Amino acid sequence: MVEITIPIQLDASYKQAYGCSMQTASPAVDAMLTALMAVGRAMRQRQEGDAIDPGTFWLLKTIAHRGPLRITDLATATHLDTSTVSRHVAQLERNGFIDRTPDPADGRAQLVGISADGQHQLDLAFERRRAILEGTLTEWGPSDIAEFERLLSKFVAGITNDTTLNNQDNQ
């Protein structure tokens, strides 16, 4: 298992290396922001044995989750511009992680879907990241884990609801 050490102060009352003050009127929000950024960084880092480039990892996950789709639809789903997605898709294709097939609705267009090797490599990458998270919880008791899961689920549901409402307002 790869061990990742992330120095973190959850009071977040200091100026971070990225150049902005993290202190606001809500220490809990500051602590969450700092913690979420640290976890995000850990999940995005290349792990030993990863064949998938960290820059294309979440794009491949989206292809696997949504099934074969057009590059323009993939760009929309990932909130990236089409040229960026096209460049990443070309890299994924060179590595054998995706397959292109004709779009049955429009023979001129192509769909990109995850290949068997791409799915295998994605599964391995997620196993490595799960191992990091599981290792973090080894010292936690069952009640702490259950409480964390309950609160995290509540937090994610709130974030999902807020971002869904904001996206609808901006359309």
CATH label of the domain that carries residue 114: 1.10.10.10
Residues 113 and 66 in one domain: yes
Residue 163 lies in a domain: no
Residue 134 lies in a domain: no
DSSP state of 19: S
| Residue 105: half-sphere exposure toward Cβ, Cα within 13 Å | 4
pTM above 0.85, yes or no: no
Token pair in block for residue 90: 């070309």
E-strand ranges in the chain read 98-103, 106-114
Q: What confidence tier does 15 reach under pLDDT thresholds 50, 70, 90?
A: very low
pLDDT score for 159: 87
Residues 34 and 67 in one domain: no
Residue 89 lies in a domain: yes
Q: What confidence tier does 61 reach under pLDDT thresholds 50, 70, 90?
A: very high
Residues 58 and 35 in one domain: no
Residue 91 belongs to domain spanning: 54-118
For residue 161, pLDDT over 80 is answered with no
pLDDT score for 16: 47
The number of domains in the chain is: 2
For residue 127, pLDDT over 90 is answered with yes
Residues 99 and 66 in one domain: yes
